[in-house]
Structure 1
């Protein structure tokens, strides 16, 4: 079971990397006003959602305790991120404040995961 959990943690990190990587690659375009949500951001957010739910399930199946408030906050942030990226994925340009919000929520989600014990 530990191998499976570690596999999903690795995939979860890959999802975070895809979402943040897509954000960082658009930083220059953000300054120019031509920023857009790239497919890697949508796929990263979906990967984070699927692997996060799997990790909670695996943790509970193993008999571990889950901080449901923490998971609820992280899930709420991720649903907002996923909703924004999904709705605006086909737009040629996105408002840079909206794009910045997605980056801020993603970084917030990472810090909640790391700092909230």
Structure 2
């Protein structure tokens, strides 16, 4: 079971990397007002959602403790990110504020995962 859990943790990190990488590569264009939500950002957020749900299920099946409040907060933040990226994905240019909010929420989700014990 540990190998399976570690596999999905790795896939979860790949999703985070796609979402955050899509944001970081466009920070310069964000300043110019030309940033846009890329398909990689959408797929990264979806990967995070699917692998996160699977990880919670696998950890509960393995009788490991799961902090449901932490998972709920992370899920709520991810749903906001996913909603913004999904709705604005076809627009030529993303609003600076919304694009920055997605980056900020992504970083917040990372820090919640790492620092909330």
User: Which interval holds the TM-score relative to the shorter structure?
Assistant: over 0.9
Q: Secondary structure at the match of 2:93?
A: coil
Cα drift, residue 65 of structure 1: 1.2
- Structure 2, gaps ≥5 residues long: none
Number of residues of Structure 1 aligned to a counterpart in Structure 2:
117
Residue in structure 2 matched with residue 41 of structure 1 by the alignment: 41
Q: Secondary structure at the match of 1:33?
A: coil
TM-score normalised by length of structure 2: 0.99
Q: Structure 2 matches for 1:1-117, cutoff 5 A?
A: 1-117=1-117
Q: For the residues of structure 2 that align with 1:99 and 1:12, how far apart are their CA atoms?
A: 22
Which consecutive aligned stretches of 4+ in structure 1 deviate over 3 angstroms post-superposition?
A: none
TM-score normalised by length of structure 1: 0.99
Could you say what the CA RMSD is over the residues aligned between the two structures, in angstroms? 0.4
